[in-house]
Amino acid sequence: MYEGRTAAQAGIVFGHENMGLEIGSAVTLLKKGDRVVMPFNVACGRCLNCEEGKSAFCTHVNPGFAGGAYGYVAMGPYPGGQAEYVRVPFADFNALKLPAGKEHEDDFALLADIFPTGWHGVQLSGFRPGESIAVFGGGPVGLMAAYSAVLRGASEVYVVDRVPERLLKAKEIGCIPIDFSKGDPADQIIKLRGREVDRGVDGKHALAPEKGCVDHSRSIAVGYQATTADGKTEQPNVVLEGLIKVVRPTGGLGIPGLYVPKDPGAPDSASAK
């Protein structure tokens, strides 16, 4: 959205990793002074999808679309958290109450988006304890997906990226780093294992910045802004093709990566569609 790669309009307030609280008159389960964290999505807690635990697809908060979110294109009229204040609709349902005090602020901030998104990617893949899994992308979400798989008893966790610091962090949390700048990542994994993995996650792509430039790597998932081995040439389908190649037949894929209907900044006309 920052780069004009979606239909976001000028003036949108970004941000959806929110903490803190002021209480409105309709809130009954929280009191002023409670410390809370909000998930990135907005949900009513009452519709059928919410009652079934599929609150990301709430049918009430964003008419005509299943799901709402703070500060996100096409996800409803909810300004984001990169501001002094943020409005929290249905706060009794959306606000997760935290322990009192000021400790672990950075850790709790991860509960707003990064950690749950990584965990959810693993969940979507159909992962079961003892299975192997490959996570494409070692950014914040990808590393959280990999760590979630470790916590859930994976036999092997492969993390694909090209940024040395990310690959090192993946190794530190017990994963097997795969540098896609050194060759096809699916081929590398299959060569190491002798066969495909059980599950795969589109976790977070790494765009290594040019020297002296800002790192514009995305923090939610690989999605349609994936690149080839040089880290510069965009190929929107490269991660999905890699996942299909490296995951065994009847295995499972988790795709929390972002794929939008139209991309105004796409590298070519086919990708723009």
Q: Tens of pLDDT along 212-252? A: 333 333 333 344 555 556 666 666 678 889 999 999 999 99
**pLDDT mean over 182-190:** 95
d(CA 216, CA 163): 13
Token pair, residue 70, equals 């703070």
What pLDDT is stored for residue 167 in this prediction? 96
Give the bridge partners for 247, in sequence order. 197
Checking if the pLDDT of 209 tops 60, the result is: no
Contact 62, 68 (CB under 8 A): yes
Token pair 């990793």 is found at: 17
What pLDDT is stored for residue 21 in this prediction? 61
Judged by DSSP in three states, 50 sits in: helix
Contact 229, 193 (CB under 8 A): no
Contact 49, 59 (CB under 8 A): yes
- Over residues 133-181, the pLDDT tens digits come to 999 999 999 999 999 999 999 999 999 998 999 999 999 999 999 999 9
Checking if the pLDDT of 29 tops 90, the result is: no
Q: Considering the chain, what percentage of its residues have pLDDT values greater than 70? A: 74
- Over residues 108-123, the pLDDT tens digits come to 888 888 898 899 999 9
Asked whether the whole model's pTM tops 0.85, one would answer no
d(CA 75, CA 87): 15
d(CA 146, CA 231): 21
